[in-house]
């Protein structure tokens, strides 16, 4: 596990993007796992810059979004279909035909989830998974007490997650109650994972993920078993880390 503590959120985005490009190692057609939310925005912005300078070319990358709300209209600006298109596909010059988002609008979300998991397998698995973390320790929408063996499936969102995401909607009751998410086992099988977190509201979740016991009460703690995990945080999100001498401080 590599832990990088940056001065601020801006530096974290730059460092995370550079580490991703290094991890991809020139692979012209990598399979990416794509997070939405606020955390990776700086990272995506710097990847866009690197794309414009020719430092990386993601035009042949395939991508699988981590999650999508259930029963949301895809035209809604906060559907992850739209968010992924707006914040990732268009700015990074990805081919929309190669990018998939779980089908949260399907009549049968259980079947849609199984098919999504299958599509990841058929693509050969995820080379590099980009993650954020919820204040409650969720990754994807794997809320506390999700099974470590879980696969892509529909899940209920906790009250805390719905409250955290209310900022994206006109009113809290518009936040969907369920989502389809890649499972913890799905995420763990990614060949490399980079998790980015910034801000003091993430400090407790980051401390428990890295230095706490591995427990389903804190789903991100499963990443302690990941063979190739990089965590990039700013000072505020890293503030609860005790064993600082083992971490790279920029
Ligand atoms: C997003 C996702 C979530 C977020 C997490 C943090 O696709 O799966 O796990 O990464 O909720 O959200 P932000 O970054 O908005 O604080």
Q: Is the pLDDT of residue 124 over 80?
A: yes
Average pLDDT over residues 7-22: 98
Quote the CA–CA distance of 64 and 49 in Å, as a whole number. Answer: 22
Reply yes or no on whether 173 is catalytic: no
Minimal-distance CA residue to ligand 1 atom 1: 36
* pLDDT (tens digit per residue) in 143-198: 999 999 999 999 999 999 999 999 999 999 999 999 999 999 999 999 999 999 99
Q: Which residues line ligand 1 (CB under 6 A)?
A: 35-39, 66-67, 132-134, 138-141
Closest CA to 139 of 81, 195, 76: 195
Q: Is the pLDDT of residue 24 over 80?
A: yes
pLDDT of residue 245: 80
pLDDT of residue 36: 97
Closest CA to 20 of 248, 247, 195, 238: 195
Reply yes or no on whether 138 is catalytic: yes
Exposure pattern of 126-159 as b/e (b: 16+ CB <10 Å)?
bbbbbbbbbbbbbbbbbbbebebebbbbbbebbe
Residue from 68, 117, 143, 164 carrying the catalytic annotation: 143
Ligand 1 geometric centre to CA of 35 (Å):
7
Looking up tokens 């790279």, which residue turns up?
A: 248
Reply yes or no on whether 127 is catalytic: no
pLDDT of residue 246: 86
Quote the CA–CA distance of 209 and 151 in Å, as a whole number. Answer: 20
Q: Name the token pair of 30.
A: 């990598």
Query: Does the reported pTM lie above 0.95?
Result: yes
Three-class SS state of 4: strand
Ligand 1 geometric centre to CA of 196 (Å):
10
Alpha helices in the chain (DSSP H): 9-24, 41-52, 80-84, 90-92, 109-122, 159-164, 184-188, 203-211
| Residue 93 per-residue DSSP state | T
Would you place residue 72 in the very low, low, confident or very high pLDDT band (cuts 50, 70, 90)?
very high
User: Please, what is the average pLDDT of the chain?
Assistant: 97
Ligand 1 geometric centre to CA of 28 (Å):
27
Average pLDDT over residues 72-86: 95
Q: Using CB atoms within 10 A of its CB, is residue 101 exposed (0-12), middle (13-18) or buried (19+)?
A: buried
Q: Is the pLDDT of residue 142 over 80?
A: yes
Q: Is the pLDDT of residue 132 over 90?
A: yes
* pLDDT (tens digit per residue) in 196-225: 999 999 999 999 999 999 999 999 999 999
Enumerate domains of the chain plus CATH numbers: 2-249 (3.40.50.1360)
Q: Is the pLDDT of residue 244 over 80?
A: no
Would you place residue 243 in the very low, low, confident or very high pLDDT band (cuts 50, 70, 90)?
confident
């Amino acid at each position: 596990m590599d832990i990088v503590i940056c001065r601020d959120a801006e530096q974290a985005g730059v460092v995370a993007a550079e580490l991703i490009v290094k991890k991809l190692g020139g692979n012209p057609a990598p399979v990416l796992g794509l997070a939405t939310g606020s955390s990776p925005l700086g990272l995506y912005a710097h990847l866009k810059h690197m794309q414009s300078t020719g430092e990386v070319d993601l035009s042949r990358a395939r991508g699988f979004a981590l999650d999508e709300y259930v029963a949301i209209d895809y035209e809604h600006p906060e559907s992850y279909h739209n968010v992924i298109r707006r914040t990732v596909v268009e700015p990074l010059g990805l081919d929309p035909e190669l990018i998939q988002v779980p089908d949260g609008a399907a009549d049968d979300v259980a079947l849609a989830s199984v098919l999504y998991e299958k599509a990841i397998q058929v693509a050969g698995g995820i080379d590099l998974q980009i993650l954020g973390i919820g204040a409650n320790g969720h990754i994807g929408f794997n809320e506390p007490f999700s099974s470590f063996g879980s696969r892509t499936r529909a899940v209920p969102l906790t009250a805390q997650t719905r409250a955290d995401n209310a900022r994206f909607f006109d009113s809290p009751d518009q936040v969907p109650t369920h989502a389809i998410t890649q499972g913890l086992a799905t995420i763990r099988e990614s060949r490399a994972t980079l998790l980015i977190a910034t801000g003091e509201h993430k400090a407790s979740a980051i401390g428990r993920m890295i230095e706490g016991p591995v427990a389903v009460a804190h789903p991100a703690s499963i990443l302690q078993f990941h063979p190739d995990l990089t965590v990039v945080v700013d000072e505020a999100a890293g503030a609860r880390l005790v064993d600082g001498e083992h971490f790279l401080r920029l």
